[in-house]
Amino acid sequence: MKKKIGISYTKTLFQNYWNWFTPGDLSAGPGEKDDIELIELSFEKNNTEDIYTCDGFVLTGGVDVHPSLYNGKADYENSPDTFQVPRDTFEEKIYRYSQKNKLPLIGICRGMQLVNVLQGGRLIQDLDNGNERHKKEETDKEHIIIISSGSLLHKIAGSSSGHVNSAHHQAIDPNAIGDNLLVNAYDDDDEKIIEGLEFADKTDKGFMLCVQWHPERIKDKEANPFSENLKQKFLAAVRNTKNGKTLGN
């Protein structure tokens, strides 16, 4: 029986997330009994029933989370022309279901920000017009991150620093981290810019890593531990999930 990874649909470069998982990643290797299938979880299709078939999830990047979810300002610099409230609602179902069933989850860019919000945290709504280091222009920006010693991310990447890409204008509010979340990485030039989150107390929790960068399209991703190692650890966690999941969110 195949394991299934649900990837939340985004109108922004969705295929990159899909292609991040190669045929080799999804096929059972030596000592593995399960192939893995990718499932598109789309707020546009509202295919909620497919959420309940999945064994792991990727929350993708995209348009800003609606500020009403964290009591943010309705009008702010560089806000989108339109939000996607149905997406926020749909992806909250994904997250709640993953947590109820202790299922592996990766949150990428907006995905990390949504997790922080759903855990009761807040966002910096805009890094201002001087955000030359992180905001995407023609291509992603690149910079160095510092990894917190002893964190899950540190164990997975096997490094205390590394190069990642950036394409964002919002960030996690360092004064409003969500409940039971631990900062595991930050920008080497400004430690107030949070680059990664994980659970602080992992007792009775499934695998979860959230990153501000884009591992699915990072340069030389197959050789970059902040992409490849993260992906392989996530795949191993998905293969180790057990049957008997509880439906509903």
CATH code assigned at 135: 3.40.50.880
Domain count, the chain: 1
Question: Would you say residue 39 lies in a domain?
Answer: yes
Range of the domain at 151: 3-239
Quick one: pLDDT at residue 192? Answer: 84
Question: Would you say residue 245 lies in a domain?
Answer: no
Question: Would you say residue 67 lies in a domain?
Answer: yes
Yes or no: say if 69 and 53 are a contact pair by the CB < 8 Å rule: no
Helix, strand or coil, per DSSP, at residue 165: strand
Quick one: pLDDT at residue 1? Answer: 74
Question: Would you say residue 249 lies in a domain?
Answer: no
Question: Would you say residue 246 lies in a domain?
Answer: no
Yes or no: say if 53 and 103 are a contact pair by the CB < 8 Å rule: no
Question: Would you say residue 11 lies in a domain?
Answer: yes
DSSP state of 69: G
Question: Would you say residue 244 lies in a domain?
Answer: no
Quick one: pLDDT at residue 129? Answer: 61
pTM above 0.75, yes or no: yes
Active-site annotation, residues: 109, 214, 216
Residue pLDDT tens, the chain, 249 long:
799 999 999 999 999 999 999 999 999 888 778 899 999 999 999 999 999 999 999 999 999 999 999 999 999 999 999 999 999 999 999 999 999 999 999 999 999 999 999 999 999 999 876 566 556 666 787 889 999 999 999 999 999 999 999 888 999 999 999 999 999 999 988 788 999 999 999 999 999 999 999 999 999 999 999 999 999 999 999 999 987 677 765
Yes or no: say if 81 and 63 are a contact pair by the CB < 8 Å rule: no
Question: Would you say residue 190 lies in a domain?
Answer: yes
Could you tell me how far CA 36 lies from the centroid of its own chain? 19
Quick one: pLDDT at residue 237? Answer: 97
What's the 3-state SS for 105-151? Answer: EEEECHHHHHHHHHCCCCEECCCCCCCCCCCCCCCCEEEEEEECCCC
